[in-house]
Structure 1
Amino acid sequence: MIQGSIVALVTPMDDSGAVDFKRLQALVQFHIGQGTDALVAVGTTGESATLDEQEHCAVIKAVVDYADGKIPVIAGTGANSTTEAVNLTRRAKEAGADACLIVTPYYNKPTQEGLFLHHKAINDAVDIPQILYNVPGRTGCDMLPETVGRIAQLKNIVGVKEATGDLSRYQKIRDLAGPDFAIYSGDDASSREFCLLGGNGSITVTGNVAPKLIHEMLMAAMAGDAATALAIDTKLMALHKNLFIQSNPIPVKWAVAEMGLIGKGIRLPLTWLTEDCFDAVRAAMRLAEVI
């Protein structure tokens, strides 16, 4: 089971919006050095919605190669088309990814039965560990705990990223999916409490900016050390908030660029962080002592 701080990695781009593979390699090495436990390549934060299929697969392969087995790589392979999700998942396996993160189909609002059949089709088509990803605020579709429990019985389904921020869902999913099913927070602001309840870590945006602190906080929470986890998380709370001051990944890419780790590239329809937000994000970074 992959556990701990799983960073939803930004995808570095140059001023023209082209993927910057040299910066990507340096970013992977940075996270290995900072104690990040695993990386997600081309998730929401990695701008999966604006990379074409060739780029998507190239970034996954590059992150796998750059990580070189030092930490696990989870490939974002979800799509609102089941056929496309199967293809991306198959190609991620071919690239050597350790697991895949498969977001709930967005925009078309499937039923709970449709969600089950979607994941069953991917499960049956590709023999690789698969992590469900429920983020109704972005997809317009909520995968209910009962559906997670049902899908969890499929052999390749090993976990879920639960990004609603609703802490009551943890125990419901645990009861339905069993003790060996990985349950990850997908909400940085509540990830400490989530892991104190028994969660297996967080798939984190904040970890792009403060990877060492996020790792230490989550390790303390998973060990049941509430006091230490709170002390560390206090330094991170402003980041948890202000990295979402505009749509993710706009603020986090700006912050990582401020740290000198990437350039100022982002793809339309996303735009660079507006100047009126600079001070708030910079202040949060100072509290976390990353600048």
Structure 2
Amino acid sequence: MTKKLPDGSIVALITPFHRDGSVNYDKLRELIEWHIANKTDGILVLGTTGESSTMTHREDDEVVRVAIEQADGRIPIIIGAGSNDSHTQLEKSLKYERMGADGLLLISPYYNKANRQGLIEHFKLCADQVNIPIILYNIPGRTGMSIPVDVVEELSKHPNIQGIKEASGNLSYAMNIAPLLNENFKMYSGNDDIIVPMLSIGASGVISVLADILPEETHDLVCSYLDGDVNRSREIQLKYLDLIHKLFIEVNPIPVKEAMNLMGMNVGGYRLPLYPMDPKNKEALESSMKKAGLL
């Protein structure tokens, strides 16, 4: 395997829509160029923030095609290929590898869940057959279960499993993952409000919603820490902490899409069951954006 996962800020990219709800591929290309110009270190498409759960397989494939084509090797493109059906996950993973993906984000099974060995086999089914890096995705708030530490330990030994996105917000869990980290297995914060604490225990970066609106600042937050300037990193984290909280005042990606539209980025709305923000929450988001100098 020649491809490696990047350090730094990987944006969990939104999927832009037209007014009629169709995918706005021209805007997708525009966003990728914006991230390349503003220091983002990698782009994740079809993640939770990308609303892939309400998109068709054909739309997913076209988003991947457009993202890879537009990036043209200038920035790593990681694809959310997960499913609660292991064989569907494998089918998608192999397809995206053929299309030129630089890595895959694979979620633990949701709804049907799995026992310990089922979890291991769920991830190994893909890891044994693809030749690009895999990031495990631990997000119990969405899936109803956390990947046990001993399962992560076993999977981390697989040469194609090179990282974990830790999005439980549980620093105790992350601390138990930290001893497993090495040059071949990285951890990324899946929560923008604890990037610095995660970096302090060995994380290599963040897969970030904040980066959708503050790409350069999120890059600087991570890379300042990795370069040894902890004070600068902490200053950035604290400066935008209130804004980060407001980006999750309602279920992601509703607030971040609203923020982008308030900034004039015209990324469109959502698909049901996602629905526009409560006016009071929108007002709180807008106020925080003004304090952060975004409006």
Which of 94, 119, 126 is residue 122 of structure 1 equivalent to? Answer: 126
CA distance in 2, matches of 1:42, 1:93: 14
CA distance in 2, matches of 1:239, 1:222: 23
Contact 1:134 1:142 in 2 (8 A): yes
Equivalent position of 2:7 in the other structure: 3
Distance change (3 Å), C-alpha of 1:105 and 1:210: same
The alignment of Structure 1 onto Structure 2 pairs a total of residues equal to 291
Identity within the alignment, %: 37
How far off is 1:179 after superposition? 4.5
Matching of residue 47 in structure 1 with residue 51 in structure 2: yes
Deviations 1:155-177 (A, max 9, x none): 21010001111223334223235
Equivalent position of 1:187 in the other structure: 191
1:262 is paired with a residue of what secondary structure?
A: coil
Equivalent position of 1:257 in the other structure: 261
Equivalent position of 1:16 in the other structure: 20
CA distance in 2, matches of 1:152, 1:198: 15
- After TM superposition, list the pairs within 5 Å mapping 1:81-160 onto structure 2: 81-160=85-164
Matching of residue 243 in structure 1 with residue 247 in structure 2: yes
Contact 2:84 2:113 in 1 (8 A): no
Deviations 1:98-124 (A, max 9, x none): 000011111112112211010011112
Equivalent position of 1:198 in the other structure: 202
Contact 2:178 2:202 in 1 (8 A): no
List gaps (5 residues or longer) in structure 1.
Answer: none
CA distance in 2, matches of 1:96, 1:262: 28
2:135 is paired with a residue of what secondary structure?
A: strand
Deviations 1:114-171 (A, max 9, x none): 1101001111222221110000001111102211111111221010001111223334
Q: Which amino acid aligns with 1:236?
A: Y
Deviations 1:8-40 (A, max 9, x none): 000000121100001111111111111111000
CA distance in 1, matches of 2:12, 2:83: 17
CA distance in 2, matches of 1:30, 1:211: 9
Moved over 4 A (4+): none
2:106 is paired with a residue of what secondary structure?
A: strand
1:192 is paired with a residue of what secondary structure?
A: helix
CA distance in 1, matches of 2:227, 2:202: 9
Contact 1:236 1:287 in 2 (8 A): no
Q: Which amino acid aligns with 2:289?
A: M
Deviations 1:68-113 (A, max 9, x none): 1111010000000001100111111122110000111111121122
User: TM-score under structure 2 normalisation?
Assistant: 0.95
Distance change (3 Å), C-alpha of 1:90 and 1:262: farther
Contact 1:236 1:284 in 2 (8 A): no
More moved, 12-21 vs 176-185: 176-185
Deviations 1:29-78 (A, max 9, x none): 11111111100011000001111111111101111111111110100000
CA distance in 1, matches of 2:267, 2:106: 28
2:11 is paired with a residue of what secondary structure?
A: strand
2:32 is paired with a residue of what secondary structure?
A: helix
- After TM superposition, list the pairs within 5 Å mapping 1:70-85 onto structure 2: 70-85=74-89
Matching of residue 31 in structure 1 with residue 35 in structure 2: yes
Calculate the aligned-residue CA RMSD, in Å: 1.4
More moved, 260-269 vs 96-105: 260-269
1:131 is paired with a residue of what secondary structure?
A: strand
Contact 1:238 1:287 in 2 (8 A): no
Equivalent position of 1:226 in the other structure: 230
